[in-house]
Structure 1
């Protein structure tokens, strides 16, 4: 059964998780590489220990159980080759799907409430969005062209805000996002607030989204 994401009217065209029924993590990871040309890398996974789901990293207090890198060299392991992706997930079929940022995209990160407010505003402005991730930690990650980290502070200042005053951050080189349908322990699954489609293959630049995100984060303080 498909889940839906509660939110504002802005999510009406993107409230469904885009996974095709029955898709495995392997099939989804391969599709990200083949259809979006994204580098992907397997992360940790969940294991049943004494009737509870624990992260494969072995830390009982893991902050992101089943949804973080499994190896120190995870960035070097990431690949956009569908064949290599298939081999990686055949070794560990339940591994989470991680997408490195700073390569084909960066991510602008805001709280969920601000994210839905920004989606409504961007829809009214008829701006074309890229895919948007909703995490179980109630965060939204808007995918944009690389370079967001260098641009964001100056853009926020020009809009009259101190960068440290807003819950708005950029993920770029050396970071990653967990992709649907990765599960984060008992918190639930990562979802798409705006799913990847042929229409949003070309990502927006940071400048296009920051005004709406800044406004929304200011309202959400």
Structure 2
């Protein structure tokens, strides 16, 4: 197990060097790989729009006019980013389906190329469940603790997706009934745990969403026909324990 994890870390370091050399994977390439190599249905996320800070009014007179001209000539830098959807209070900016809706998720390469030709920077969303992976996500600090605990147990893990605020462990598809039976046996389940099953979705690398860059904390092995996935039963105990024991990770829902 340690050799496999070390190899994965090496892959991440090599991928980082490729990114620094300007050959980072584009969203279209990532979406096509998910759909055509791994048979995971994907669709573009809502994406982000820039929120530009209002310009300060220039003083009157020659100097004021010159200052105004200089400000108009300089490019406006976004003060922040908001979701491109119509909801001004969107809690997951950029990281959810909007147009098209979730039911449009597909493995059709022609449709995927058409979507990303129109919106090349759109986030890549995985439609979870069915023949695609499911996932369990939790706040980032608790996620790091859970992975350390699973490694200590010698647990074999598949891909792990990370954002600055949350980590998600991809697991084999499960039904809502099966998940309900599993959680019923627990004394308590932290509200910060989120389960991405049938009818759910998850942003995948190299998407950029409101919380920041999406990356692989544990990347799929290079050359694999389809990434291996653990059963949800194998990981949920460690995730519940990590969320409960992490300050702020038990009851607070961190997006």
TM-score > 0.5, shorter chain as reference = yes
Aligned residue runs from structure 1 range 1-221, under 5 A: 13=9, 16=12, 21-50=23-52, 51-52=77-78, 53-71=81-99, 74-103=101-130, 104-136=132-164, 138-147=165-174, 149-158=176-185, 160-163=186-189, 165=190, 167-185=192-210, 187-197=211-221, 198=224, 201-220=227-246, 221=250
User: Hey, which bits of structure 1, 4+ residues long, moved more than 4 A?
Assistant: 17-20
- TM-score normalised by structure 2 residue count: 0.70
Q: Is the 8 A contact 1:108 1:143 kept in 2?
A: yes
Q: Is the 8 A contact 2:135 2:171 kept in 1?
A: yes
Q: Report the alpha carbon displacement of residue 40 of structure 1 after superposing the two structures with TM.
A: 0.5
Q: Report the alpha carbon displacement of residue 64 of structure 1 after superposing the two structures with TM.
A: 2.4
> What is the distance in 1 between the residues matched to 2:217 and 2:201?
18
- Note closer, same or farther for the CA distance 1:173–1:156 as it changes in structure 2 (3 Å cut): closer
Unaligned runs of at least 5 residues, structure 1: 1-8
Q: How many residues align?
A: 207
> What is the distance in 1 between the residues matched to 2:24 and 2:139?
30
> What is the distance in 1 between the residues matched to 2:183 and 2:170?
18
Q: Is the 8 A contact 2:37 2:226 kept in 1?
A: no
Q: Is the 8 A contact 2:136 2:170 kept in 1?
A: yes
SS in 1 for 2:213: coil
SS in 2 for 1:22: coil
Q: Report the alpha carbon displacement of residue 119 of structure 1 after superposing the two structures with TM.
A: 0.8
Deviation per CA, 1:188-215, whole angstroms, max 9, x where unpaired? Answer: 2112111122397121111111122222
Query: Which piece of structure 1 moves more, 82-91 or 195-204?
Result: 195-204
Give the RMSD, CA atoms, in angstroms: 2.8
The structure number with the bigger radius of gyration is 2
> What is the distance in 1 between the residues matched to 2:87 and 2:101?
18
> What is the distance in 2 between the residues matched to 1:171 and 1:156?
14
> What is the distance in 1 between the residues matched to 2:178 and 2:125?
24
Q: Report the alpha carbon displacement of residue 42 of structure 1 after superposing the two structures with TM.
A: 0.8
